[in-house]
Amino acid sequence: MRNKWIVSIDDYRKASRWHLPKMITDYLDGGALDEITMRANRDSLDALKLRQRSMVDLSNLATDTTVLGQSVALPLIVAPMGMLTIFHPGSDPAVARAAVAAGSIFIHSAWAGCSLEEVAPFAGDKLWAQVAFWKDPAETESYIQRARKVGVKTLVVAGDVGSASKRERDLHHGLSMPPKPPVIDYFTTAMRPQWIYRWLTGRKMTYGNYTIGGKALRMNQMNQWMANNKNSSASWDDFAKLRQQWDGKLVIKGIMDAEDAARAVAEGADGVFISNHGGRQFDAQPATIDVLPSIVEAVDGKAEVYLDGGIRRGHDIVKAVGLGATAVMAGRPFAYALATGGEPAVAKAFKILHDEFKGAMGFVGKTNVASIDESVFALPSRVNDYV
Ligand SMILES: Cc1cc2nc3c(=O)[nH]c(=O)nc-3n(C[C@H](O)[C@H](O)[C@H](O)COP(=O)(O)O)c2cc1C
């Protein structure tokens, strides 16, 4: 599908299939095990119905708001995604530039293809950095220092990666490091020559944040590096220590439980980021929108609450904000666009979601983000019937 015919995020999902080999499409689209949680994210959002209001003066409708004191054009932020280089050589800088131009924020993944230093010039103060706890605390500390040095004001702790995920689509494609694809994948990859051309001529695929011998880690070195550095003992104590070390804003991603949310606030989190990793990690948990009300209650206004997982439409943002989220994050939508057409496509994906959000605000009769609350849900059943 050509870019001019693309009018929705789902159009980008379909279009991205023409630009990526099947094994990469499956890596992007897929979730853990039976993909029940991944589907639940969408199903639960779809089950919520909004209340249309009529004859509301919309001439001054504004979609802008603030997230941890930073202005954004709408409550939508790019979720951290590793390995964006695999979709398009523009990678993290392309997405960061498009996000900034759209008045949003870019969260740089701890497993990003590009280093923090590479992306920082394109994101300015709209850059948040994800931090992981590595076995050697010096590795984590040095990363924090690097974040400080490039002007990052908000760190996002990876809170949901302690256990290993099992994504069966990836296993079928032999997507280990190094990849061991079955013969069929050589044929399907050969049908995407533009991707092969980019792979051969574009930016080399690396895990840009980490180095061996002063050089960015190549993909085939990652397994070993991870095996040496993965820290399975990270706990709230590490979070508390990080809180001492870092005087900027601190967000924790991967919270799915009210008790954990309350603990995060008690340990000094400024933001609680509800996420089930888009259903990519643990396949036996609820949709993120379903746990949002209990987490908002537990946080009790002491921190901001964000949510990701299945956000594909502007009205999804209204639903999440209506249930108490300060903002939502989206991952795959921007990766679909990146794969389809690089930075201009990511910019268009932002515009699609922004226009849809504005339209949905108008339909629910809200003229500013602060006024979006539970009253946006359809009467008479309201939200309790759905969640
Ligand atoms: C290709 C890809 C890579 C991802 N890499 C990371 C990552 O490095 N760190 C992280 O915390 N989450 C990662 N995620 C999860 C996203 O941050 C986010 O939670 C998820 O994509 C939200 O669901 P959505 O894709 O339905 O919007 C990744 C997701 C995708 C699709």
Residue nearest to atom 20 of ligand 1 (CA): 278
Residue 339 Cβ inside 6 Å of ligand 1? The answer reads: no
CA–centroid distance, 37 to ligand 1, in Å, is 14
> Structure tokens of 105?
């924020």
pLDDT above 70 as % of the chain:
97
The C-alpha atoms of residue 133 and residue 245 are separated, in whole angstroms, by 13
Residue 387 has pLDDT above 80, yes or no: no
What's 3-385's CATH class? alpha beta
Mean pLDDT of the chain: 93
> Structure tokens of 270?
């400024």
Residue 331 Cβ inside 6 Å of ligand 1? The answer reads: yes
Residue 344 Cβ inside 6 Å of ligand 1? The answer reads: no
Mean pLDDT of 196-217: 80
Mean pLDDT of 317-339: 98
Which residues does residue 38 pair with via DSSP β-bridges, in sequence order? none
pLDDT above 90 as % of the chain:
78
Could you identify the residue written with the tokens 């870092």?
246
Please say if 173 is a catalytic residue: no
Closest-CA residue to 342 (of 203, 218, 207): 203
CA–centroid distance, 89 to ligand 1, in Å, is 18
Q: With contact defined as beta carbons under 8 Å apart, do 124 and 100 qualify?
A: yes
Higher pLDDT, 83 or 77: 77
Which residues does residue 377 pair with via DSSP β-bridges, in sequence order? 50
Residue 386 has pLDDT above 70, yes or no: no
Residue 253 Cβ inside 6 Å of ligand 1? The answer reads: yes
Q: Which of 88, 277, 315, 354 is catalytic?
A: 277
Residue nearest to atom 14 of ligand 1 (CA): 81
Residue 25 Cβ inside 6 Å of ligand 1? The answer reads: no
Residue 330 Cβ inside 6 Å of ligand 1? The answer reads: yes
Residues 227-268 have pLDDT tens digits of 788 888 999 999 999 999 999 999 999 999 999 999 999 999
Mean pLDDT of 291-315: 98
What pLDDT is recorded for position 209? 84
Three-state SS annotation for the chain: CCHHHCCCHHHHHHHHCCCCCHHHHHHHHCCCCCCHHHHHHHHHHHHCCECCCCCCCCCCCCCCEEECCEEECCCEEECCCCCHHHCCCCHHHHHHHHHHHCCCCEEECCCCCCCHHHHHHHHHHHEEEEECCECCHHHHHHHHHHHHHCCCCEEEEECCCCCCCCCHHHHHCCCCCCCCCCHHHHHHHHCCHHHHHHHHHCCCCEEEEEEECCEEEEHHHHHHHHHHHECCCCCHHHHHHHHHHCCCEEEEEEECCHHHHHHHHHCCCCEEEECCHHHCCCCCCCCHHHHHHHHHHHHCCCCEEEECCCCCCHHHHHHHHHCCCCEEEECHHHHHHHHHHHHHHHHHHHHHHHHHHHHHHHHCCCCCHHHCCHHHECCCCCHHHCC
Residue nearest to atom 6 of ligand 1 (CA): 81
Mean pLDDT of 158-163: 86
Which atom of ligand 1 sits closest to the CA of residue 311?
27
Residue 312 Cβ inside 6 Å of ligand 1? The answer reads: no
The C-alpha atoms of residue 200 and residue 215 are separated, in whole angstroms, by 19
Contacts of 72 (CB under 8 A, 6+ apart): 64, 65, 66, 103, 104, 105, 327
| Domain range summary for the chain, segments of one domain joined by + | 3-385
What pLDDT is recorded for position 231? 86
**At 172, which amino acid appears?**
H
What pLDDT is recorded for position 385? 55
What pLDDT is recorded for position 356? 98
Whole-number Cα distances in Å, 206 to 133, 139, 179, 203: 20, 18, 14, 9
Residue 143 has pLDDT above 60, yes or no: yes
> Structure tokens of 379?
């009467």
What pLDDT is recorded for position 222? 78
The C-alpha atoms of residue 48 and residue 10 are separated, in whole angstroms, by 19
Pick from 88, 111, 280 the residue to mutate for probing ligand 1's pocket: most ligand atoms within 8 Å of its CB: 280
Residue nearest to atom 1 of ligand 1 (CA): 28
**At 383, which amino acid appears?**
V
Q: What's CA 53's distance to the chain center, in Å?
A: 31
Query: Phi first, then psi: what are they for 25, rounded to 5°?
Result: -55, -45
Residue nearest to atom 21 of ligand 1 (CA): 331
Which atom of ligand 1 sits closest to the CA of residue 107?
17
Residue 310 Cβ inside 6 Å of ligand 1? The answer reads: yes
What pLDDT is recorded for position 126? 97
| Res. 353 pLDDT band, cuts 50 70 90 | very high
Residue nearest to atom 7 of ligand 1 (CA): 81
CA–centroid distance, 53 to ligand 1, in Å, is 35
Dihedral-angle region of residue 324 (phi above 0 means left; psi in -120 to 50 means alpha; beta otherwise): left
